[in-house]
Amino acid sequence: TLRERATEGYTVFLSTHLLSMANTLCDRVGIISDGRLVALGTPEELRDELAARGSLEDVFFAVTREEEVSSA
């Protein structure tokens, strides 16, 4: 249903902790850490730029670790 709505031109905002779901359903992904947007792009862009073509989970851990280090 979500993909159908998006194909029809609707904007669909999905909040999930299931990164495999985000990878499958989303055209763009934003990662929020401590209330701040720390990464934004297509799943492919994020994997290519931030996780050496790893998974979205790898991207999440890479950017949230960076956020923790810069906050410390």
pLDDT in tens, 28-71: 999 998 899 999 999 999 888 877 767 888 888 888 886 555 65
Is the pTM here over 0.85, yes or no?
Answer: no
Query: Can you read off the two tokens belonging to residue 26?
Result: 């989303």
End-to-end CA distance of the chain: 42
- pLDDT confidence of residue 9: 92
Whether 43 and 49 have beta carbons less than 8 Å apart is answered as no
Q: Is 18 helix (H, G, I), strand (E, B) or coil?
A: coil
pLDDT value, residue 41? 94
Q: For residue 12, give the nearest of 20, 23, 1 by alpha carbon.
A: 1
Over residues 3-38, the pLDDT tens digits come to 899 889 999 999 998 988 888 889 999 999 889 999
Other beta carbons within 10 angstroms of residue 56's beta carbon come to 24
pLDDT at 50: 78
